[in-house]
A and B are shown apart, each in its own frame.
Chain A
Amino acid sequence: MKETSDGNILGNMKNLVGHLKSFFGLSRKQQGGRLPFTEAFERFRGVLDNNNRALEIITDMGEKLGGDYLFDVNYIKDAYSRLSAVVAGAISNFDTLTRGRHAQLLGVFNRINSQVTGMIYDVASVTGERVFFYEDISWDMSREVGGKNAALAELRNYLRLDVPEAFAITTRAFDEFMEHNELTAAVDNLHGGGGPHEEKLARLRDLIMEAEIPPGVGSDIEAALDKMKKRCGDPCFLAVRSSGEDEDGEFSFAGQFETVLNVPLECEAVKRAYKKVIASLFSAKAAAYQERIGYETGKMKMAVGCVVMVDAVASGVIYSSSPDGERRTLIVNATWGLGESIVEGRTDSDFYRVKKDIVPEIVNEKTGGKQFMVVSRPGGGTAKVETPVDRAGKPCLTPEQVKELAGRAISIERHFRRPQDIEWSIDSSGKIYILQARPLRIEERAAVETGPAPRVERPGRILMKDRGIIVQKGTGGGTVFIVRTPDDLEHFPKGSVLVARHDSSNFVRVMPFLSAIITDTGTPTSHMSSLCREFRVPTIVNAGDATGTLKQGQKVTVQAAEDGSTAIYEGIHRDLIEYSEKTSMKMEDVYEYRKKRFVLRYISPLNLVDPLLDNFSPERCKTVHDILRFMHEKSVAELVDSARYGTSMLKRHAAVKLDLPIPAGIIVIDIGGGLNIEPGQGKATFEQITSMPLRAIVKGMMHPGVWNSRAVSLKVNDFLSSMMRMSDITSGDSEYVGYNVAVASGEYMNLSLRFGYHFNMIDCYCSENTRNNHLYFRFVGGATDIVKRSRRIELLATILREYGFNIKSKGDLIIARLANISSDELVGLLDQTGRLIAITRQLDAVLNDDSDVELYSRNFIGGKYEF
């Protein structure tokens, strides 16, 4: 692939889209007329064939980018170019089939395509706008408005949460600013030439602060401020915040860039704050952070968010899943006034642990002293002041407010489908504003197989035991170095254990060189805590009096253990450290890997789950997988309609319900020789199925003991998981959407099944000519949490592999296929497949343990169907 020029691939993709556009132009002329059934069926197969090929590529990409393979960017380019070609093929068939009724789908695909190609080929932003108000920002604009703006705008626009009025200054404006002032050369100079790096960074920051805002950018900012004044009246102040291109995506950059609070709504003040934020891209700590994750300083483009300040009575941070592994609870930290003191770990804030139930329940709380608070100053800027006596030491939230915040956090986590680190404020009227939401990195259990933890033979004196809160598990040893002022970091000896009174995001500068961090105060929700988790630095905060107990220069081993206990031993215990290192190394720590894999975000997740929901529309497709899912569902519905209103020859056999002893709810569209029924008969019995493959698979589904009609109880977290994956069914737009539909002829069958929360598709050609025969099986989804769903996939894979299928699986998706097999053999396999479909409908809910997978698959293969 290295010989293929990138330009060519990109060019081909553009041609492809152009070709599709002209195609769509033609097809829309057909709107209104009905497609003859035979052509509809041909197009239907066209959609399915391309969809299946696309899903195979997606599954392959998921496998190759899953951490088990060494891959390079050429693989991604090649795989994606194949994927976009087959998706385009599917869309063109789909458009003809649906007579242009979902023409928006092409636009959606174009947007996804430009995101993906932009990432793969590192192409700049698309719209070229310099300013966007939040209401105009859509989910796919994070490259233009930065991660932070994009996430916040999404909460405002999709979840309808209260977010302050805000606008984004884009990466395009950043490019213009850098080019207009010839700063790009200064950035390049950072990596070459002589002189200390720190000095070059400082010089660059000065140049930025002295630089001129280009006229175009300046006038756009002025216009935005005028608009803002009309909306918010006077006085009004802004928080001017960083929103880097990659910030809050795969990497948090927590606390690395400047936020200028309480900036008056005046052009000069905002421009100054803007430059300050841009300059912070080149601060020593931000550069150290970027270096640490393997990011070349100066590569990131900085967008900026201008968000109206909330007149905050209380503020804080929520972790929507507790970072100590107790995922069913969330953590709320709160303080009086602005939240700045929490994220910088400088206050003894209120702490709540809340159980994530349908009605959240506070399970643990601790009220902090909060002697100081940060407030907005009337003329601009902020001040740290003593908390008034009537508030210091008192909880700043009512239990109802805690629960309300928890509810918001649960919905945000559900929306982004991963744990979130959320900043919020409550104003004097009690209204909750969300100020930030970004992915929260939480330690998963290491996948590396290791032996039992070594016992410490002579642990020496235990200096501290079970003190503080673990931010990052792990074990580190070294010499104690107490940091009292930021200047102490200049002399930090490599390999030492950093001990400090408060935590600070400045510590990132020495994170590559330190073995562990212990602080006397601090919270697990601070910026420093985010960074420690990101870099897997063993860290304990709020440990009481570490600065007093531990002595400068003393050798210690800090253990933040898996079971949540903490210990600081005297001396360095290499066996403990090595064991801990081996269990904590993960591919996710490799920056390049995470960055490259990020492209999958626009490809493989499935957001569009329920065809009966209003959001089942082209506009809500965010990934290639969503587009495929949408096309499949609508194609089946279209075919059913087409059969109902099709030619008279087909009409008598069209859309017939199967009358079976099991409630499978299957509708059959007979395209010739699939059923043997009288004209006009609306139902068919099993005996009347003449389609060889359909008959065999239905026979399997009806096999004694395999169709369990008893309800399987879901555990609480499964139930929550299913709630998060799909809301209540509220409306429908077509009589047949969501039905189980089989398209059948004498030798062919395509069966689309939807049971509860999972989708199963079986496509089979079964004739006397072995070479033409195939069996294709696809299964995705489920109601339970991903662990149990993955177990069901593992079980399906084990059984299908036993029957000789070729398997591809990833997460909760499996594709299995077989070809070139005799009809006799195929009928037997279809029977088994039918049994498997029936039995696995609810199986995930009972797969409580990995060992169940082996047991149940052995039982199934042995013909035992009791689970």
Chain B
Amino acid sequence: MNKYRIMVIDDEKIVCDMAKMSLEQEGYDVETFMNAEPALKRLAEEKFDIVVTDYKMKGIDGMEVLRTVRKLYAGTKVIMITAFANLDAAIEALRSDVHDFFPKPVKIKELKASIQRALDEGNK
């Protein structure tokens, strides 16, 4: 069976590295990017099942990532994480069809559960 593919975008290395380690442990194929630009280029080349992205980044932000994913792949779910527990941001993201929205620090267990739910929904 092919592994599910997950892309993680966050401008902090520690978030990328920790996410990669813990998601690979679940058997996913994980690619990480500290900058959204190369991440979007990669997305144009290949489909990912899940994209986990930081909301606020220098240059292209999480909402832009979300819009690009929506244009490219209907089935790819986007999970947004953010350093700001900002209600407006959460509402904006959720209205834009984001699968889930987590303030940082994010409990890894909850992120994993959210990914699993997204994959289950996709398989229905």
Contact = CB atoms under 8 A, between A and B. Distances in A.
A70 B19 contact: yes
Given A2-B83, A72-B83, A593 B105 contact: no
Contacts, number: 65
B17 A72 contact: no
Given A70-B111, A73-B14, A587 B83 contact: no
B77 to A, nearest CB: 18
Interface stretch (B21-29, B43-51, B89-97, B114-122): B21-29
B13 interface: yes
Given A1-B83, A1-B84, A2-B83, A72 B25 contact: no
B12 A587 contact: no
B109 A596 contact: no
A72 B104 contact: yes
Interface in A35-89: 64, 68-75
Contacts of B17: 294, 590-593
A532 to B, nearest CB: 19
A391 interface: no
B15 interface: yes
A596 B106 contact: no
B18 A73 contact: no
Interface centre among A70, A582, A591, A593 (most CB of B within 10 A): A70
Contacts of A591: 17
Interface in B1-49: 10, 12-15, 17-19, 21-22, 24-25
A73 B12 CA distance: 8
A70 B106 contact: yes
Contact of B83 (A64, A69, A74, A448): A74
Interface residues of A, number: 22
A855 interface: no
B35 to A, nearest CB: 15
B65 interface: no
B70 interface: no
Interface in B67-124: 81, 83-84, 104-109, 111
A585 interface: yes
Contact count band on B: 20 to 34
A69 B107 contact: yes
A46 B56 CA distance: 38
A153 B81 CA distance: 44
A70 B15 contact: yes
A1 B54 CA distance: 13
A589 interface: yes
B27 to A, nearest CB: 8
B25 A590 contact: no
B9 to A, nearest CB: 13
A2 B107 CA distance: 20
Nearest to B16: A592
B13 A294 contact: yes
A69 B107 CA distance: 4
A75 B84 CA distance: 10
Contacts of A73: 12, 14
A592 B84 contact: no
B103 to A, nearest CB: 10
Contact of B25 (A70, A582, A596): A582
Contact of A75 (B13, B104, B108): B104
A660 to B, nearest CB: 44
A72 B82 CA distance: 10
Contacts of A593: 14, 17-18
Contacts of B13: 294, 592
A585 B106 contact: no
A75 B56 contact: no
B12 A590 contact: no
A596 B14 contact: yes
Nearest to B27: A582
Nearest to A596: B14
B107 A68 contact: yes
A69 B12 contact: no
A92 B14 CA distance: 36
B15 A589 contact: no
Interface of B: 10, 12-15, 17-19, 21-22, 24-25, 56, 81, 83-84, 104-109, 111
25 contacts: A1-B83, A68-B108, A69-B106, A70-B18, A70-B81, A70-B104, A70-B105, A71-B105, A71-B106, A72-B10, A72-B14, A72-B15, A72-B83, A73-B12, A74-B83, A75-B105, A294-B13, A294-B17, A448-B25, A585-B21, A585-B24, A587-B22, A589-B21, A590-B18, A590-B21
Given A2-B84, A68-B107, A592-B18, 17 more contacts: A2-B83, A64-B105, A68-B109, A70-B15, A70-B106, A71-B14, A71-B104, A71-B105, A72-B10, A72-B104, A73-B12, A74-B83, A294-B17, A590-B14, A590-B18, A591-B17, A592-B17
The 10 closest A-B pairs by CB, nearest first: A71-B105, A69-B105, A592-B14, A72-B12, A70-B106, A64-B105, A590-B17, A592-B17, A74-B83, A585-B25
